[in-house]
Chain A
Amino acid sequence: MKSVALLCLGVSLITAPAFADDITIGLAGPLSGPQAYFGGTWHNGFKLYVDKLNAAGGVNGTKVLINQQDDKADPREGTLVAQKFCDDDKVIIGLVNFNSGVAQSTLPIYEDCKMPTMTFGSNPSLTRQGYKFMVRPVANDLAGALLPAEYALGKLGAKTAVVVNDKQVFGQGISEIFASNFEKGGGKVLDTLAVAPSDVDFTAVLAQIKAKKPDVIYLGAVMPQLALFAKQMHQQGVKATLLVPDGGYTPDLIQQAGQDNVQGTLVAIQVPPMDASPDIAAFAKAYKDKYGEEAGPYSIYGYVQGQILEQVLKDTKGHSREQMNDALHHVKAKTAIGVLEFDDTGELKVGPSYLYKVDGKDFVLIGSK
């Protein structure tokens, strides 16, 4: 056993790339299928920054190369990609997995081959399993459901809420977090209702809710259910304010529900508006110039991960996976969305989250944390 360990150490010393060599970053995300838009635009944000970095001569002469793979938002595909990155000695950091479900199955593989990763799945449980080689550069669902609860209590003066969820890991998890935050803040959750994830008719549930006259309704679900619920809520004359998680941050919400039916709906997401600061506005413009389309919902995070990588390369003692992991965990990176630092579990010390309100045919920022 000991000799094997020594052998491994020997091998890793031989194959460890020398300093100032080019390094490779492994990118995995959904690049085909229904979520391709999210994955592709997220990776494009990262590439945008890396190209800028390389054009300026890299960091201390080190250029960054990219190995981009499609995980199809499928855990099986994700694990194959993870194995591929692990076996490739040139890959020293993974920028991986848009989906919590995929990250859940790839993290153990990356852990085994000591590959540091910046993971994108937002389920709170990912950072609680003791992984030493992961950080999450994006706010988790705990942050995603705190701001809406605070806003409802503070700004809307809400006293009562009804919580509806679709019985899925994400929907049920995030709506439970909302409910506990709402109760902690002195509000009262009148009822928790569950619907089937494939439901399209919420009229019966809404008639029950209507009788309870809540101030707000939190709906832990995904599209198109968010749009259907909003539409039927309006048609049934339910007067409460609807709060939904990040899946609703898409023009589809307004289009599928009908503009009149979603006015005033609140959407919480980790993404700042594209005119929030000069930095972000410059990013949005650079993105459009390079790719010929508007930045996607998570493109800014790809860009921010590029900025984190730059700081890690400046801090790191060498280019082995372990040294990169050390630097990644202790990084203090100035990024377009503020200074980011990670705690011991790899969670952001401060996870930014933003709250938007549907106004006309746009999302307008009304709060951030």
Chain B
Amino acid sequence: MLGIFFQQAVNALTIGSIYALIALGYTMVYGVLRMINFAHGEMFMLGAYAAFLVLALLAGDAHAAGPLTLVAAFVIAVVAVGGIGVLIERFAYKPLRNSTRLAPMLSSLGASLALVAGMQILAGPQPVAFPSFFPSVTYNVMGGTVTSVQIGILVAAFVLMYGLTLLVNRSRIGVIVRAVSESRQTARLLGINVDFAISMVFFTGALLGAAGGILYASYYGIMSPTMGAVVGLKAFTAAILGGIGSIPGAVLGAFILAFVEVAGTALLPLLTGGLLGTEYRDVLAFAILILVLLVRPAGILGEPVSEESMVYKREF
């Protein structure tokens, strides 16, 4: 029994850390621009495809790459996708920055569709086998099974998240980004390069999303052009749950969502005597989301929006 419990906890942590990496991108963009970037799920998909492409170019066969090649592919791919994130902002959102808040969101939906369709044309619609970035070793701990891939994902995700925390709180770029998120106008008047700050946000967000995509494809062993849709929605839900705009909130929301999903799969049939099966997992997840939003409309760690702060931040 303890073994199963431990096993499910590790499963939830693995899924949660991948959700968290993606949720961060949603939350950072919202924090600075007050827009939901619907094309963010596609950064996750592009990350996997970019890594696969780099591997194939470096090693000839993506499935026979050595550890150095894998690290190089990971770094090159996430930086490249970060650059794509910046370009998308430049061409699809920036021209709309001063129109209604809905316009860039619609534009991001368009970007999302274009990226998926483009990848379907380029690489074909079928799923592709993806090489594992970690040597697969299985450990038995307390009767549960943990794979080295799960440990690798946890470590990589936490390193990236810690790096982001340092970047936001301890670096010059972080100061600029926080200033712009407080008030774009004031920051501009104080001589801060607002465009640079926004580009940086898109770069980091897309980079983390791509890293999530590579870890995900490596964990499950496949990638497909539509893989960003479902995971993107889950990560977006996690960001809302934790409080959109809040960085620790996104991480917290992601882990809560992952634990609810796993607990739903494990406990629902037991608690209801088989009446509600595992297929109600997502219903449970969204029910919890609704309950949280009823109590805290801004999410668990989100700033409650008062009239005063709205006027101050020029939200509308």
Contacts and interface: CB of A to CB of B under 8 A. Distances in A.
B99 interface: no
A112 B227 CA distance: 42
Contacts of B129: 252, 255-256, 258
A152 to B, nearest CB: 22
Contacts of B145: 235-237
Interface stretch (B81-89, B165-173, B189-197, B261-269): B261-269
Contacts of B147: 235
A132 interface: no
B224 A224 contact: yes
A235 B277 contact: no
6 contacts: A34-B126, A198-B230, A204-B266, A211-B4, A235-B145, A237-B140
Given A34-B126, A196-B279, A207 B7 contact: yes
Interface of A: 33-34, 167, 191-196, 198, 200-201, 203-205, 207-208, 210-211, 223-224, 227-228, 231-232, 235-237, 252, 255-258
Nearest to A33: B125
A167 B279 contact: yes
A235 B221 CA distance: 12
A207 B11 contact: yes
Nearest to A34: B125
B221 A231 contact: yes
B220 interface: yes
A207 B147 CA distance: 14
Given A200-B222, A201-B220, 18 more contacts: A34-B125, A34-B126, A167-B279, A194-B278, A195-B279, A198-B230, A201-B15, A204-B262, A205-B265, A207-B7, A210-B4, A224-B127, A224-B224, A227-B222, A231-B221, A236-B145, A252-B129, A256-B221
A33 B12 CA distance: 36
Contact of A200 (B125, B220, B261): B220
Nearest to A202: B265
Q: Is the interface of B mostly helix, strand, loop or mixed?
A: helix
A191 B269 contact: yes
A227 B306 CA distance: 50
Contact of B4 (A205, A207, A224, A256): A207
Given A198-B230, A224-B222, A237-B145, A208 B266 contact: yes
B186 interface: no
B185 interface: no
Interface in B210-264: 220-222, 224, 227, 230, 261-262
A256 B222 contact: yes
A228 B136 CA distance: 15
Contacts of B221: 227-228, 231, 256-258
Contact of A208 (B127, B144, B265, B282): B265
Contacts of A252: 126-127, 129
B277 A193 contact: yes
Contacts of B230: 198, 200
Interface in B119-172: 125-127, 129, 136, 138, 140, 144-145, 147, 149
Contacts of B282: 196
B8 interface: yes
Contacts of A207: 4, 7-8, 11, 144, 266
A33 B125 CA distance: 8
Contacts of B136: 235
Contacts of A228: 220-222
A187 to B, nearest CB: 19
Interface string B11-46: 110110000000000000000000000000000000
Interface string B261-289: 11001100100000001110110000000
Contacts of A194: 277-279
Contacts of B4: 207-208, 210-211
Contacts of A232: 220
B96 to A, nearest CB: 31
A193 B276 CA distance: 10
Contacts of B144: 207
A210 B145 CA distance: 11
Contacts of A210: 4, 7
A29 B12 CA distance: 43
A111 B278 CA distance: 41
Contacts of B278: 193-195, 205, 208
A368 B8 CA distance: 39
